Structure 1
Amino acid sequence: MKNPRVKIEQEEVLSNNWYTLRKYTFDYQRADGSWERQAREAYDRGNGAVILLYNQEKNTVVLTRQFRLPTYTNGNATGMMIEACAGLLDRDNPEECIKRETEEETGYQVSSVRKIFEAYMSPGSVTEILYFFVAEYSDDMKVSDGGGCATEQENIEVMEMPFSNALQMVASGEINDAKTIMLIQYAQINGLVRA
């Protein structure tokens, strides 16, 4: 059911290059009953999925490292980010997407994943809903080196590390990607691996 306090008056495509940037002009009814005209931009890149691979026996997690231009242009001196494996749905359902992305990026072929929640990551400007998953992995699930999809210009380093290192990297700011922090904290709170 649409919100009766919002009336979209105009939608304009500002960019349709990599993804779609739209400008919306709309009327919004304030709490006092009056209406005001507003304009906002929304970036539509589709929805995505993210996963934390963990191994209870080894007490490890698998993360990735890759260059992220937006962080580089906003003060990240190297542009490199340590993240949980993630990708866009590309018309797949979230579970199928994350299984595909896990194999492409990390080289692990997981058959069983568990959705833990979903969240808007930047609701003030981006339309994306991100579906969060966890899955236990083992060495025998490794089917390739991973590294991403060459046709998508991905150059991803796979990082298996002790969970305690991942927690320390969050505390030090070396891991500063929101989705990854959320998954690491989820693993800690729910005892998926030992701190």
Structure 2
Amino acid sequence: MSNENVKIISKEILSDNWYTLNKIKFEYKTKGGVIETQEREAYDRGNGATILLYNKANQTVILTRQFRLPTYINGNESGMLIETCAGLLDKDNPETAIKRETEEETGYKISEVKKVFEAYMSPGSVTEILYFFVAEYSKEMKVSDGGGHHEEQENIEVLELPFSNALQMIATGEIKDGKTIMLLQYAQINNLMG
């Protein structure tokens, strides 16, 4: 980190229960040369990766559905969210992590993935950068039912949907997850289905 306009003054851990919530006091030098002292909170949960599995021949995609507490307390009646497979890197490189997460969550063992971009998903409060991947899948790659790790309290439902239906689910609001919308639109823009 090197920005001559920023000087960290202090960093205080507010919570270190699930991930880490820090309160950071810093000085920021504006374009006009004024030095402002600011305080912000930043949630550090590590970096992550996500993937869209697609099948050209069948015109289908693999998505997941699981309960997400933050959506529930913000008005999503069921708390269930349809998403692309995703997970934290856990000290692995993004490609290794997404292959691991794909097998754990969806039951598909993939060997070839393509990184398409990376993005900060909530840069005003969360430090995480997310690495986005796509990969083709076939029935032969299915090695388990998926569903995530029981000890991690993951109760993931695996969905195989027609690509056209998944795109329509964005318009109807059935899919509201940002990373999923981004990858589905990437697939559409780049004609991944052929």
Instruction: Bin the TM-score by the shorter chain.
Output: over 0.9
SS of equivalent to 1:18: coil
**Alpha-carbon deviation of 1:105?**
0.3
Is the aligned partner of 1:46 residue 2:10? Answer: no
Over residues 81-136 of structure 1, what are the superposed CA-to-partner deviations in whole Å (9 max), with x where a residue is unaligned?
A: 00000000001110000000000000000000000011111010000010000000
Match of 2:145 in 1: 145
Match of 2:13 in 1: 13
**Alpha-carbon deviation of 1:178?**
0.2
TM-score for the superposition, normalised by structure 1: 0.98
Letter in 2 for 1:106: T
Match of 1:178 in 2: 178
Q: How does 1:64-75 map to 2 (within 5 A)?
A: 64-75=64-75
Q: How does 1:35-184 map to 2 (within 5 A)?
A: 35-184=35-184
Distance in 1 of aligned mates of 2:161 and 2:99: 21
Over residues 41-62 of structure 1, what are the superposed CA-to-partner deviations in whole Å (9 max), with x where a residue is unaligned?
A: 0000000000000000000000
Instruction: List gaps (5 residues or longer) in structure 2.
Output: none
SS of equivalent to 2:27: strand
**Alpha-carbon deviation of 1:183?**
0.1
Instruction: List gaps (5 residues or longer) in structure 1.
Output: none
Distance in 2 of aligned mates of 1:169 and 1:68: 18
Distance in 2 of aligned mates of 1:59 and 1:51: 16
Structural RMSD (CA)? 0.7
4+ residue segments displaced more than 4 Å? none
SS of equivalent to 1:63: strand
Match of 1:22 in 2: 22
Distance in 1 of aligned mates of 2:83 and 2:46: 19
TM-score for the superposition, normalised by structure 2: 0.99
Distance in 1 of aligned mates of 2:88 and 2:36: 35
Q: Percent identity?
A: 72
